[in-house]
Structure 1
Amino acid sequence: MTAHFFNNALTITPTDFANLPEGKSTVLLFDANTLSLANYNLASLLSEFELTVINRRKNQIAKKEYVASRLLLKLLVKTTHPEFSNVPLNAINTSFNQSTAKLELHINECVINTCISHSHGFVGVALNLESEGFGFDLEKISLTRPFEKLAKHFYHTDEVTLITSQPNTQSQANTFFRIWTLKESLAKATSRPIAKLLSPNVFNELTLVSLAASSQVVNTQTETFDLTLVHKKSTDWRCFVLTDLSLIPIR
Protein backbone atom coordinates (compact mmCIF):
# COMPACT_ATOMS: atom_id res chain seq x y z
CA MET A 1 0.00 0.00 0.00
CA THR A 2 2.83 2.42 0.79
CA ALA A 3 5.36 1.06 -1.71
CA HIS A 4 4.84 3.79 -4.29
CA PHE A 5 6.04 6.41 -1.79
CA PHE A 6 9.50 4.79 -1.95
CA ASN A 7 9.81 4.41 -5.73
CA ASN A 8 12.11 7.42 -6.27
CA ALA A 9 9.99 8.35 -9.25
CA LEU A 10 10.72 12.10 -9.23
CA THR A 11 12.85 13.19 -12.19
CA ILE A 12 15.67 15.63 -11.45
CA THR A 13 17.49 17.18 -14.41
CA PRO A 14 20.93 18.84 -14.24
CA THR A 15 21.02 22.20 -16.04
CA ASP A 16 22.49 25.68 -16.01
CA PHE A 17 20.37 28.77 -15.67
CA ALA A 18 20.72 29.71 -19.34
CA ASN A 19 18.91 26.49 -20.34
CA LEU A 20 16.30 26.50 -17.58
CA PRO A 21 12.72 26.14 -18.88
CA GLU A 22 10.02 28.63 -17.91
CA GLY A 23 9.76 28.60 -14.13
CA LYS A 24 6.12 27.70 -13.47
CA SER A 25 5.85 24.50 -11.37
CA THR A 26 9.63 24.36 -11.12
CA VAL A 27 11.82 23.40 -8.18
CA LEU A 28 15.41 24.60 -8.38
CA LEU A 29 18.13 22.78 -6.42
CA PHE A 30 21.64 24.06 -5.82
CA ASP A 31 24.62 23.17 -3.64
CA ALA A 32 25.24 26.47 -1.87
CA ASN A 33 28.45 25.08 -0.37
CA THR A 34 30.05 25.86 -3.74
CA LEU A 35 29.29 29.59 -3.43
CA SER A 36 32.06 32.03 -2.66
CA LEU A 37 30.23 34.96 -1.10
CA ALA A 38 33.27 37.20 -1.54
CA ASN A 39 32.60 37.10 -5.30
CA TYR A 40 29.15 38.67 -4.91
CA ASN A 41 28.07 42.22 -4.22
CA LEU A 42 25.33 41.36 -1.75
CA ALA A 43 23.97 44.91 -1.75
CA SER A 44 23.05 44.44 -5.42
CA LEU A 45 21.34 41.08 -4.79
CA LEU A 46 19.48 41.53 -1.50
CA SER A 47 16.91 44.04 -0.30
CA GLU A 48 17.62 46.22 2.72
CA PHE A 49 15.56 43.89 4.89
CA GLU A 50 17.39 40.80 3.59
CA LEU A 51 20.74 42.47 4.24
CA THR A 52 19.78 43.02 7.87
CA VAL A 53 18.85 39.33 8.14
CA ILE A 54 22.06 37.98 6.67
CA ASN A 55 24.22 40.42 8.64
CA ARG A 56 22.85 38.86 11.83
CA ARG A 57 23.91 35.39 10.76
CA LYS A 58 27.32 34.18 11.85
CA ASN A 59 27.36 30.66 10.42
CA GLN A 60 28.87 30.66 6.92
CA ILE A 61 26.75 27.76 5.66
CA ALA A 62 23.61 29.55 6.82
CA LYS A 63 24.75 32.69 5.00
CA LYS A 64 25.34 30.75 1.79
CA GLU A 65 21.96 29.03 2.04
CA TYR A 66 20.24 32.36 2.55
CA VAL A 67 21.94 34.09 -0.40
CA ALA A 68 21.42 31.11 -2.73
CA SER A 69 17.73 30.69 -1.85
CA ARG A 70 16.91 34.38 -2.28
CA LEU A 71 18.88 34.70 -5.49
CA LEU A 72 17.23 31.66 -7.03
CA LEU A 73 13.74 32.78 -6.02
CA LYS A 74 14.29 36.19 -7.60
CA LEU A 75 15.62 34.72 -10.81
CA LEU A 76 12.70 32.28 -10.96
CA VAL A 77 10.18 35.10 -10.70
CA LYS A 78 11.88 36.88 -13.58
CA THR A 79 11.40 33.80 -15.78
CA THR A 80 7.69 33.58 -14.93
CA HIS A 81 6.93 37.31 -15.09
CA PRO A 82 8.66 38.97 -18.06
CA GLU A 83 7.25 42.32 -16.92
CA PHE A 84 9.68 42.16 -14.00
CA SER A 85 12.74 41.31 -16.10
CA ASN A 86 14.30 44.73 -15.57
CA VAL A 87 13.55 45.03 -11.86
CA PRO A 88 16.84 45.05 -9.92
CA LEU A 89 17.33 42.05 -7.69
CA ASN A 90 17.75 44.24 -4.62
CA ALA A 91 14.31 45.76 -5.31
CA ILE A 92 12.73 42.34 -4.78
CA ASN A 93 12.16 41.38 -1.16
CA THR A 94 11.37 38.13 0.66
CA SER A 95 9.76 37.99 4.08
CA PHE A 96 7.96 35.42 6.19
CA ASN A 97 4.23 35.92 6.73
CA GLN A 98 3.48 34.71 10.24
CA SER A 99 -0.29 34.51 9.70
CA THR A 100 -0.06 32.22 6.65
CA ALA A 101 3.21 30.50 7.62
CA LYS A 102 4.51 31.21 4.10
CA LEU A 103 7.65 32.86 2.79
CA GLU A 104 6.45 35.62 0.47
CA LEU A 105 8.24 37.28 -2.41
CA HIS A 106 7.35 40.97 -2.87
CA ILE A 107 8.02 42.61 -6.23
CA ASN A 108 6.40 45.97 -6.94
CA GLU A 109 2.77 45.43 -5.83
CA CYS A 110 2.83 41.68 -6.47
CA VAL A 111 3.03 39.14 -3.63
CA ILE A 112 3.90 35.53 -4.48
CA ASN A 113 3.98 32.54 -2.13
CA THR A 114 7.19 30.56 -2.21
CA CYS A 115 8.58 27.38 -0.73
CA ILE A 116 12.18 26.76 0.28
CA SER A 117 14.09 23.98 1.98
CA HIS A 118 17.73 23.56 2.89
CA SER A 119 19.91 21.00 4.59
CA HIS A 120 23.67 21.14 5.20
CA GLY A 121 24.15 23.71 2.43
CA PHE A 122 21.94 22.04 -0.18
CA VAL A 123 19.11 24.41 -1.14
CA GLY A 124 15.79 24.04 -2.95
CA VAL A 125 13.37 26.80 -3.97
CA ALA A 126 10.03 27.08 -5.78
CA LEU A 127 7.34 29.63 -6.51
CA ASN A 128 3.75 28.73 -5.70
CA LEU A 129 2.17 31.00 -8.31
CA GLU A 130 -1.32 29.54 -7.96
CA SER A 131 -1.21 29.43 -4.14
CA GLU A 132 -2.21 25.77 -4.35
CA GLY A 133 -1.48 22.95 -1.95
CA PHE A 134 2.25 22.45 -2.44
CA GLY A 135 5.31 21.86 -0.31
CA PHE A 136 8.67 20.18 -0.56
CA ASP A 137 11.45 19.20 1.78
CA LEU A 138 15.13 18.30 1.61
CA GLU A 139 16.89 16.33 4.32
CA LYS A 140 20.38 14.89 4.50
CA ILE A 141 20.35 11.10 4.93
CA SER A 142 22.55 10.44 7.94
CA LEU A 143 23.49 7.01 9.22
CA THR A 144 24.76 8.51 12.48
CA ARG A 145 21.41 9.96 13.55
CA PRO A 146 19.58 7.75 16.11
CA PHE A 147 16.72 7.42 13.63
CA GLU A 148 15.24 4.26 15.14
CA LYS A 149 15.07 5.87 18.57
CA LEU A 150 13.62 9.06 17.08
CA ALA A 151 11.03 7.11 15.10
CA LYS A 152 9.86 5.18 18.17
CA HIS A 153 9.52 8.45 20.08
CA PHE A 154 7.76 10.55 17.40
CA TYR A 155 6.38 8.42 14.55
CA HIS A 156 3.20 6.38 14.19
CA THR A 157 3.61 2.72 15.15
CA ASP A 158 2.99 1.58 11.56
CA GLU A 159 5.80 3.87 10.38
CA VAL A 160 8.12 2.50 13.07
CA THR A 161 7.35 -1.06 11.95
CA LEU A 162 8.11 -0.08 8.36
CA ILE A 163 11.50 1.31 9.39
CA THR A 164 12.57 -1.49 11.73
CA SER A 165 11.54 -4.20 9.25
CA GLN A 166 14.14 -3.03 6.72
CA PRO A 167 17.04 -5.45 6.18
CA ASN A 168 19.98 -3.13 6.93
CA THR A 169 20.96 0.21 8.43
CA GLN A 170 21.05 2.03 5.09
CA SER A 171 17.53 0.89 4.18
CA GLN A 172 16.28 1.83 7.64
CA ALA A 173 17.82 5.31 7.31
CA ASN A 174 16.37 5.77 3.82
CA THR A 175 12.92 4.82 5.09
CA PHE A 176 13.13 7.07 8.16
CA PHE A 177 14.15 10.12 6.14
CA ARG A 178 11.62 9.46 3.40
CA ILE A 179 8.86 9.47 6.00
CA TRP A 180 10.36 12.65 7.46
CA THR A 181 10.39 14.52 4.13
CA LEU A 182 6.84 13.35 3.46
CA LYS A 183 5.72 14.80 6.80
CA GLU A 184 7.60 18.09 6.33
CA SER A 185 6.32 18.52 2.78
CA LEU A 186 2.75 17.81 3.85
CA ALA A 187 3.09 20.33 6.68
CA LYS A 188 4.16 23.01 4.21
CA ALA A 189 1.48 22.10 1.67
CA THR A 190 -1.30 22.33 4.24
CA SER A 191 0.16 25.11 6.43
CA ARG A 192 0.05 22.81 9.45
CA PRO A 193 2.72 22.75 12.18
CA ILE A 194 5.10 19.83 11.71
CA ALA A 195 4.54 18.95 15.39
CA LYS A 196 0.95 17.97 14.52
CA LEU A 197 2.07 15.64 11.74
CA LEU A 198 4.81 13.68 13.52
CA SER A 199 2.62 11.08 15.22
CA PRO A 200 -0.16 10.56 12.59
CA ASN A 201 0.41 8.05 9.79
CA VAL A 202 1.61 10.29 6.96
CA PHE A 203 0.35 7.93 4.24
CA ASN A 204 -3.17 8.17 5.61
CA GLU A 205 -2.86 11.94 6.00
CA LEU A 206 -1.92 12.37 2.34
CA THR A 207 -4.97 10.36 1.30
CA LEU A 208 -7.26 12.44 3.51
CA VAL A 209 -6.23 15.71 1.84
CA SER A 210 -6.09 14.20 -1.68
CA LEU A 211 -2.50 15.24 -2.32
CA ALA A 212 0.14 13.35 -4.26
CA ALA A 213 3.79 12.83 -3.31
CA SER A 214 6.86 12.47 -5.52
CA SER A 215 10.31 11.68 -4.15
CA GLN A 216 13.91 11.07 -5.13
CA VAL A 217 17.34 10.56 -3.56
CA VAL A 218 19.77 13.31 -4.59
CA ASN A 219 23.55 12.98 -4.49
CA THR A 220 25.88 15.96 -4.28
CA GLN A 221 29.67 15.75 -4.33
CA THR A 222 29.80 15.01 -0.62
CA GLU A 223 26.34 14.13 0.72
CA THR A 224 23.12 12.25 -0.03
CA PHE A 225 19.73 13.90 0.46
CA ASP A 226 16.12 12.83 0.38
CA LEU A 227 13.74 15.09 -1.54
CA THR A 228 9.94 14.92 -1.46
CA LEU A 229 7.32 17.08 -3.17
CA VAL A 230 3.70 17.06 -2.02
CA HIS A 231 1.32 18.59 -4.56
CA LYS A 232 -2.03 18.42 -6.31
CA LYS A 233 -2.34 15.27 -8.36
CA SER A 234 -2.99 17.32 -11.50
CA THR A 235 0.17 19.43 -11.20
CA ASP A 236 3.34 18.36 -12.97
CA TRP A 237 6.18 19.79 -10.89
CA ARG A 238 9.68 19.59 -12.38
CA CYS A 239 13.02 19.57 -10.56
CA PHE A 240 16.32 20.92 -11.84
CA VAL A 241 19.76 20.88 -10.23
CA LEU A 242 21.71 23.98 -11.20
CA THR A 243 25.24 22.99 -12.08
CA ASP A 244 26.69 26.44 -12.69
CA LEU A 245 25.78 29.89 -11.42
CA SER A 246 28.31 31.71 -13.58
CA LEU A 247 25.77 32.18 -16.40
CA ILE A 248 23.17 33.80 -14.17
CA PRO A 249 22.62 37.46 -15.13
CA ILE A 250 23.41 39.29 -11.86
CA ARG A 251 21.91 42.76 -11.87
Structure 2
Amino acid sequence: MSSAYFDNQLLHTPLAENNNHTILLFDASQLQVDELTLTQFLSPFELSVIARRKTPQAKQEYVATRLLLKYLVKSVLPSSSNITLDKISSEFNQQTCKLELNINNNQVYSCCVSHSHGLVGVALNIDNSLFGFDIEKISLKRPFEKLAKHFYDAAEVALITKQPCTAAKAATFFRLWTLKEALAKATSRPIAQLLSPNVFCELGNRQLSATSTTLTNDVNEQFDISVVAKKSTDWQCSFISFAALSSKLAFK
Protein backbone atom coordinates (compact mmCIF):
# COMPACT_ATOMS: atom_id res chain seq x y z
CA MET A 1 0.00 0.00 0.00
CA SER A 2 1.31 3.41 -0.92
CA SER A 3 2.17 5.69 1.98
CA ALA A 4 1.25 8.62 -0.29
CA TYR A 5 -2.40 8.14 0.68
CA PHE A 6 -1.49 9.17 4.24
CA ASP A 7 0.64 12.20 3.40
CA ASN A 8 -2.08 14.86 3.78
CA GLN A 9 -1.58 16.17 0.24
CA LEU A 10 -4.97 17.83 -0.06
CA LEU A 11 -4.27 21.53 0.37
CA HIS A 12 -6.17 23.68 2.85
CA THR A 13 -6.05 27.17 1.38
CA PRO A 14 -7.62 30.59 1.95
CA LEU A 15 -10.94 31.04 0.19
CA ALA A 16 -10.62 32.13 -3.45
CA GLU A 17 -13.59 33.71 -5.17
CA ASN A 18 -13.34 31.99 -8.54
CA ASN A 19 -11.66 28.61 -7.94
CA ASN A 20 -13.88 25.91 -9.40
CA HIS A 21 -11.87 23.09 -7.83
CA THR A 22 -12.64 24.08 -4.26
CA ILE A 23 -14.32 21.97 -1.60
CA LEU A 24 -16.09 24.62 0.44
CA LEU A 25 -16.21 23.88 4.19
CA PHE A 26 -18.46 25.45 6.80
CA ASP A 27 -19.50 24.97 10.43
CA ALA A 28 -23.24 24.42 10.10
CA SER A 29 -23.84 25.17 13.78
CA GLN A 30 -23.42 28.87 12.92
CA LEU A 31 -26.74 28.84 11.05
CA GLN A 32 -29.94 29.74 12.84
CA VAL A 33 -32.34 28.05 10.44
CA ASP A 34 -35.48 29.37 12.13
CA GLU A 35 -34.30 32.93 11.52
CA LEU A 36 -33.96 32.48 7.74
CA THR A 37 -36.71 33.06 5.21
CA LEU A 38 -36.07 29.75 3.50
CA THR A 39 -38.38 30.44 0.56
CA GLN A 40 -35.87 33.07 -0.59
CA PHE A 41 -32.95 30.65 -0.64
CA LEU A 42 -34.32 27.16 -1.31
CA SER A 43 -36.16 25.78 -4.32
CA PRO A 44 -39.63 24.23 -3.89
CA PHE A 45 -38.03 20.77 -4.06
CA GLU A 46 -35.45 21.68 -1.41
CA LEU A 47 -38.20 23.08 0.81
CA SER A 48 -39.99 19.73 0.60
CA VAL A 49 -36.79 17.98 1.69
CA ILE A 50 -36.07 20.27 4.64
CA ALA A 51 -39.65 19.75 5.84
CA ARG A 52 -38.81 16.07 6.33
CA ARG A 53 -35.67 16.71 8.37
CA LYS A 54 -36.41 16.05 12.04
CA THR A 55 -33.44 17.16 14.14
CA PRO A 56 -32.03 20.71 14.38
CA GLN A 57 -28.59 19.48 13.29
CA ALA A 58 -30.01 17.72 10.23
CA LYS A 59 -31.84 20.91 9.26
CA GLN A 60 -28.70 23.00 9.78
CA GLU A 61 -26.55 20.66 7.72
CA TYR A 62 -29.05 20.48 4.87
CA VAL A 63 -29.61 24.23 4.65
CA ALA A 64 -25.88 24.94 5.02
CA THR A 65 -24.90 22.60 2.18
CA ARG A 66 -27.50 24.10 -0.15
CA LEU A 67 -26.41 27.65 0.66
CA LEU A 68 -22.79 26.68 0.05
CA LEU A 69 -23.65 25.16 -3.33
CA LYS A 70 -25.44 28.36 -4.32
CA TYR A 71 -22.45 30.38 -3.15
CA LEU A 72 -20.24 28.34 -5.49
CA VAL A 73 -22.66 28.80 -8.38
CA LYS A 74 -22.65 32.56 -7.88
CA SER A 75 -18.86 32.59 -7.54
CA VAL A 76 -17.77 30.48 -10.50
CA LEU A 77 -20.60 30.74 -13.05
CA PRO A 78 -20.92 34.31 -14.42
CA SER A 79 -24.15 33.39 -16.21
CA SER A 80 -25.86 32.91 -12.82
CA SER A 81 -25.54 36.51 -11.64
CA ASN A 82 -29.18 37.39 -12.28
CA ILE A 83 -30.67 34.09 -11.19
CA THR A 84 -32.38 34.06 -7.81
CA LEU A 85 -31.31 31.42 -5.30
CA ASP A 86 -34.67 29.67 -5.26
CA LYS A 87 -34.15 28.90 -8.98
CA ILE A 88 -31.04 26.87 -8.16
CA SER A 89 -32.19 23.43 -7.04
CA SER A 90 -30.22 20.42 -5.83
CA GLU A 91 -31.81 17.10 -6.72
CA PHE A 92 -30.54 13.52 -6.76
CA ASN A 93 -30.48 11.89 -10.19
CA GLN A 94 -31.57 8.29 -9.72
CA GLN A 95 -30.21 7.22 -13.11
CA THR A 96 -26.67 8.53 -12.61
CA CYS A 97 -26.69 8.20 -8.79
CA LYS A 98 -25.32 11.74 -8.60
CA LEU A 99 -26.45 14.89 -6.84
CA GLU A 100 -27.11 17.56 -9.47
CA LEU A 101 -27.76 21.29 -9.48
CA ASN A 102 -30.51 22.41 -11.81
CA ILE A 103 -30.10 26.11 -12.53
CA ASN A 104 -33.20 27.95 -13.74
CA ASN A 105 -34.51 24.73 -15.35
CA ASN A 106 -31.80 25.15 -17.95
CA GLN A 107 -28.26 24.22 -16.87
CA VAL A 108 -27.42 21.05 -14.93
CA TYR A 109 -24.14 20.50 -13.08
CA SER A 110 -22.91 17.57 -11.05
CA CYS A 111 -22.02 18.34 -7.45
CA CYS A 112 -21.01 16.57 -4.26
CA VAL A 113 -21.95 17.05 -0.61
CA SER A 114 -20.65 15.57 2.64
CA HIS A 115 -21.22 16.30 6.33
CA SER A 116 -20.13 14.94 9.68
CA HIS A 117 -21.04 16.19 13.17
CA GLY A 118 -21.83 19.73 12.00
CA LEU A 119 -18.93 20.18 9.58
CA VAL A 120 -20.28 20.35 6.04
CA GLY A 121 -18.56 20.49 2.68
CA VAL A 122 -19.69 20.93 -0.91
CA ALA A 123 -18.07 20.93 -4.34
CA LEU A 124 -19.33 21.91 -7.77
CA ASN A 125 -18.13 19.46 -10.43
CA ILE A 126 -18.30 21.72 -13.48
CA ASP A 127 -16.18 19.36 -15.60
CA ASN A 128 -18.65 16.55 -14.88
CA SER A 129 -15.69 14.20 -14.45
CA LEU A 130 -15.43 11.30 -12.04
CA PHE A 131 -15.19 13.01 -8.67
CA GLY A 132 -16.19 12.45 -5.09
CA PHE A 133 -15.16 13.53 -1.62
CA ASP A 134 -16.02 12.59 1.93
CA ILE A 135 -15.70 14.09 5.43
CA GLU A 136 -15.66 12.05 8.62
CA LYS A 137 -15.05 13.04 12.21
CA ILE A 138 -12.19 11.07 13.75
CA SER A 139 -13.61 9.48 16.87
CA LEU A 140 -11.51 7.50 19.34
CA LYS A 141 -14.70 6.26 20.99
CA ARG A 142 -15.94 4.24 18.02
CA PRO A 143 -14.94 0.54 17.98
CA PHE A 144 -12.95 1.09 14.79
CA GLU A 145 -10.75 -2.00 15.13
CA LYS A 146 -13.83 -4.19 15.49
CA LEU A 147 -15.49 -2.44 12.57
CA ALA A 148 -12.38 -2.81 10.41
CA LYS A 149 -12.08 -6.54 11.15
CA HIS A 150 -15.74 -6.99 10.22
CA PHE A 151 -15.78 -4.90 7.02
CA TYR A 152 -12.29 -4.11 5.70
CA ASP A 153 -9.81 -6.03 3.57
CA ALA A 154 -7.28 -8.07 5.59
CA ALA A 155 -4.36 -5.92 4.42
CA GLU A 156 -6.21 -2.78 5.51
CA VAL A 157 -6.91 -4.32 8.92
CA ALA A 158 -3.21 -5.14 9.28
CA LEU A 159 -2.32 -1.56 8.42
CA ILE A 160 -4.60 -0.31 11.19
CA THR A 161 -3.60 -2.77 13.89
CA LYS A 162 0.15 -2.25 13.40
CA GLN A 163 -0.11 1.44 14.28
CA PRO A 164 1.67 2.33 17.55
CA CYS A 165 -1.20 3.97 19.45
CA THR A 166 -4.97 4.37 19.53
CA ALA A 167 -4.89 7.80 17.89
CA ALA A 168 -2.81 6.51 14.98
CA LYS A 169 -5.07 3.49 14.56
CA ALA A 170 -8.14 5.72 14.49
CA ALA A 171 -6.53 8.09 11.97
CA THR A 172 -5.70 5.16 9.69
CA PHE A 173 -9.20 3.67 9.98
CA PHE A 174 -10.90 6.95 9.12
CA ARG A 175 -8.50 7.73 6.26
CA LEU A 176 -9.41 4.38 4.71
CA TRP A 177 -13.09 5.14 5.34
CA THR A 178 -13.05 8.55 3.64
CA LEU A 179 -11.16 7.09 0.67
CA LYS A 180 -13.79 4.37 0.30
CA GLU A 181 -16.67 6.84 0.62
CA ALA A 182 -15.08 9.27 -1.86
CA LEU A 183 -14.50 6.39 -4.29
CA ALA A 184 -18.13 5.31 -3.92
CA LYS A 185 -19.35 8.81 -4.79
CA ALA A 186 -16.93 9.19 -7.71
CA THR A 187 -17.93 5.88 -9.28
CA SER A 188 -21.64 5.99 -8.35
CA ARG A 189 -21.41 2.73 -6.41
CA PRO A 190 -23.01 1.92 -3.04
CA ILE A 191 -20.53 2.17 -0.19
CA ALA A 192 -21.53 -1.37 0.82
CA GLN A 193 -19.80 -2.63 -2.32
CA LEU A 194 -16.54 -0.88 -1.44
CA LEU A 195 -16.07 -1.67 2.24
CA SER A 196 -14.43 -5.07 1.83
CA PRO A 197 -12.32 -4.54 -1.36
CA ASN A 198 -8.84 -3.08 -0.87
CA VAL A 199 -9.34 0.61 -1.61
CA PHE A 200 -5.80 1.11 -2.94
CA CYS A 201 -6.28 -1.67 -5.47
CA GLU A 202 -9.65 -0.22 -6.48
CA LEU A 203 -8.12 3.20 -7.05
CA GLY A 204 -5.25 1.74 -9.05
CA ASN A 205 -7.46 -0.48 -11.18
CA ARG A 206 -9.67 2.47 -12.12
CA GLN A 207 -6.70 4.82 -12.59
CA LEU A 208 -8.14 7.34 -10.14
CA SER A 209 -6.14 9.82 -8.10
CA ALA A 210 -6.78 10.49 -4.43
CA THR A 211 -5.66 13.16 -1.99
CA SER A 212 -6.55 13.62 1.67
CA THR A 213 -5.96 15.76 4.72
CA THR A 214 -6.91 16.07 8.38
CA LEU A 215 -8.39 19.29 9.75
CA THR A 216 -9.01 20.48 13.31
CA ASN A 217 -11.96 22.75 14.13
CA ASP A 218 -12.24 25.48 16.78
CA VAL A 219 -13.13 22.99 19.55
CA ASN A 220 -10.21 20.69 18.74
CA GLU A 221 -12.24 18.03 16.95
CA GLN A 222 -10.42 16.33 14.07
CA PHE A 223 -11.96 15.52 10.70
CA ASP A 224 -10.55 13.50 7.84
CA ILE A 225 -11.27 14.55 4.24
CA SER A 226 -10.49 12.56 1.09
CA VAL A 227 -10.97 13.41 -2.59
CA VAL A 228 -11.07 10.90 -5.44
CA ALA A 229 -10.93 12.24 -9.00
CA LYS A 230 -10.28 11.10 -12.55
CA LYS A 231 -8.83 14.13 -14.26
CA SER A 232 -7.83 16.85 -11.84
CA THR A 233 -5.41 16.57 -8.94
CA ASP A 234 -5.59 20.26 -8.01
CA TRP A 235 -8.66 20.10 -5.76
CA GLN A 236 -8.27 22.03 -2.53
CA CYS A 237 -10.43 22.77 0.49
CA SER A 238 -11.26 26.13 2.01
CA PHE A 239 -13.32 27.25 4.98
CA ILE A 240 -15.86 30.00 4.44
CA SER A 241 -16.93 32.24 7.29
CA PHE A 242 -20.55 32.98 8.13
CA ALA A 243 -19.89 36.64 7.29
CA ALA A 244 -18.60 35.84 3.79
CA LEU A 245 -21.46 33.42 3.09
CA SER A 246 -24.17 35.78 4.33
CA SER A 247 -22.69 38.73 2.45
CA LYS A 248 -22.60 36.89 -0.87
CA LEU A 249 -26.12 35.49 -0.52
CA ALA A 250 -27.61 38.56 1.16
CA PHE A 251 -28.84 37.22 4.48
CA LYS A 252 -27.85 37.92 8.11
User: Which residue number corresponds to residue 131 of structure 2?
Assistant: 134
Which residue of 223, 226, 229 maps to 2:224?
226
Structure 2: distance between partners of 1:100 and 1:233: 19
Q: Tell me how far 1:247 sits from its aligned partner.
A: 2.6
Compute the TM-score of the two structures, normalised by the length of structure 1. Answer: 0.94
- 5 Å-filtered alignment, 1:16-35, equals 20-35=16-31
Counterpart of 2:93 (choices 88, 97, 107) is 97
User: What is the rounded CA distance, in whole Å, between the counterparts of 1:97 and 1:234 in structure 2?
Assistant: 23
Alignment pair present for 1:113 and 2:110: yes
| Larger displacement relative to structure 2 (211-220 or 173-182) | 211-220
Q: Which whole-Å deviations, capped at 9, do the CAs of 1:61-120 have from their partners, x for residues lacking one?
A: 110111110111112112222111111101111111111111110012111111010011
Where do residues 140-159 of structure 1 align in structure 2 (5 Å cutoff)?
A: 140-159=137-156
Distance 1:179 1:150, change over 3 A: same
Distance 2:179 2:188 in 1: 14
- Partners of 1:235 and 1:250 in 2: how far apart? 33
- Compute the displacement of 1:14 (Å): 4.0
* Aligned residue number for residue 247 of structure 2: 247
Contact 1:45–1:250 (8 Å) recurs in 2: no
8 Å contact from structure 2 (residues 121, 135) kept in 1: yes
Once residues 44 and 23 of structure 1 are traced to their aligned partners in structure 2, the CA distance between those partners, rounded to angstroms, is 26
The residue that corresponds to 1:53 in the other structure is 49
Amino acid in structure 2 at the alignment position of 1:148: E
More moved, 79-88 vs 195-204: 79-88
**CA deviation after TM superposition for structure 1 residue 177, in Å:** 0.2
Partner of 2:236: 238
2:20 match: secondary structure: coil
**Residues 1:79 and 2:75 aligned together:** yes
In structure 1, what is the Cα distance between the partners aligned to 2:179 and 2:8? 13
Name stretches of at least 5 consecutive residues in structure 2 with no aligned partner: none
What whole-Å deviation, never above 9, does each CA across 1:48-69 have from its counterpart, x for those lacking one? Answer: 1111111111111110111110
SS in 2 for 1:4: helix
Q: Percent identity?
A: 56
CA RMSD in angstroms comes to 1.3
> 229-238 vs 203-212, which deviates more?
229-238
Q: Deviations over 1:130-175 (max 9, x none)?
A: 1111100000100010000000000000000000000000000000
Question: In structure 2, what residue type is equivalent to 1:208?
Answer: N
CA distance in 2, matches of 1:235, 1:143: 30
Q: What is the TM-score with the length of structure 2 in the denominator?
A: 0.94
- Conserved? CA contact 2:130–2:231, under 8 Å: no
Unaligned runs of 5+ residues in structure 1 are none
Deviation at 1:233, TM superposition (A): 5.2
Q: 1:23 to 1:14 in 2, by over 3 A?
A: closer
What stretches of structure 1 move > 3 A for 4+ residues in a row?
none
Q: CA deviation at 1:246?
A: 3.7
Q: Using the alignment, how far apart are the partners of 2:188 and 2:249 within structure 1?
A: 34
Partner of 1:217: 214
AA of the residue aligned to 2:227: L
